[in-house]
Structure 1
Amino acid sequence: MARKRTRNRKANVEVTQDMDPMDLINRLLPLKQKEVLIGMQGDKDLATIAGVHEYGSVKLKIPARSFIGSGKKKAQVAIGKLVRKAVTEIALGQRAGPSLFEKIGELGLDRMKKNFDRIKQPGLSPVYARRKASKKLLIADQELRNALSFTIVSKGR
């Protein structure tokens, strides 16, 4: 069985003698209690459309055009940089913790929407291409793009 390779990057915070360890713990502990979920929210029909776009449909001969998974991958580096910088600022008392979750959600959502707008592969089927006014993929599904959102939730819901 292959082991999953993981890579962790850590925020480097230099602890000095004049820092109170309890203050440091009190600032950082709330970050473990919440998480940001970025995806889409909508009704059953919209969820079906999103699923078909994300994974494709063999039965309907529709290829996968991942916008959530690929958007997540494209946002990871930027979110990682944001988190490392913000955790250092939070540890030093220069920033409040809850604002970090909002920034992560906004950044991830922005990257996911940009990814949604850039999807070009695989191409449209000839039948659908004749019906569609634009050559951009997924753009007819503006409702789907507008359903992309983020939410901040407590861990262990």
Structure 2
Amino acid sequence: MSKAKRTRTRRANIEIDETTYLPDILKKLKRLTASETHIGASGNAELAMIAGIHEYGSQKAGIPPRSFIRSGRNKAAAAVSKLARTGLTAVVEGNKQPEQLLGELGELAKARVLKNFDKLRTPPLSPIYARRKGSNKLLIEEQQLRDSITYIIVPRRSSR
């Protein structure tokens, strides 16, 4: 018998009383859960290839993975979760539209991924490449890659 998966949940501060109109809250929550925010690099095929190589590495070319999207997303998780909780309360209370909250979450995650992109230090460049480049700063020549980091709001897949 397999163990049950442990999950952590946090609750939003939403109080329901006799004046609360539950069908309206459910409608807002359905609108909110019908979409999700994706963060990544957007651009042409060459830029997508460069982003993939930096994110996952290339054994054939001797390039180690320098995850800037996944690690940035992981570092942003606490802040995104906090904004989601407070934003959910605002959506339920009618002070914010669900699409507005998704946009705010995307902007926050994008800012954190960009911050992570700028601070990326490991794994270091090879000494030969660093000499040729004239700097040890990772991804510095990839301004187009940095500028391509964005978010989009897409319909959620029906697998849930």
TM-score (norm 2): 0.90
Paired residues, number: 157
Give yes or no for the alignment of 1:36 onto 2:10: no
Aligned ranges for residues 1-157 of structure 1 at < 5 Å?
5-156=6-157
Cα drift, residue 27 of structure 1: 2.2
Cα drift, residue 45 of structure 1: 1.6
Match of 1:35, as an amino acid?
E
Which consecutive unaligned segments of at least 5 residues does structure 2 have?
none
Cα drift, residue 7 of structure 1: 2.4
Identical-residue share of aligned pairs (%): 45
CA distance in 2, matches of 1:11, 1:36: 19
- 1:32-71 per-residue CA deviation (whole Å, 9 max, x = no partner) reads 1111010011222212211111111212211111001101
Cα drift, residue 132 of structure 1: 1.0
Cα drift, residue 121 of structure 1: 0.7
Asked if structure 1 preserves the Cα contact closer than 8 Å seen for 2:110 and 2:149, the reply is yes
SS at match of 2:17: coil
- 1:80-123 per-residue CA deviation (whole Å, 9 max, x = no partner) reads 00000011111112222221011011000000000000000111
CA distance in 2, matches of 1:108, 1:94: 22
Q: In angstroms, what is the RMSD of aligned CA positions?
A: 1.7
47 and 5 in structure 1: CA distance in 2 versus 1, 3 angstrom threshold? farther
Asked if structure 1 preserves the Cα contact closer than 8 Å seen for 2:124 and 2:138, the reply is yes
SS at match of 1:139: coil
TM-score (norm 1): 0.92
Which consecutive unaligned segments of at least 5 residues does structure 1 have?
none
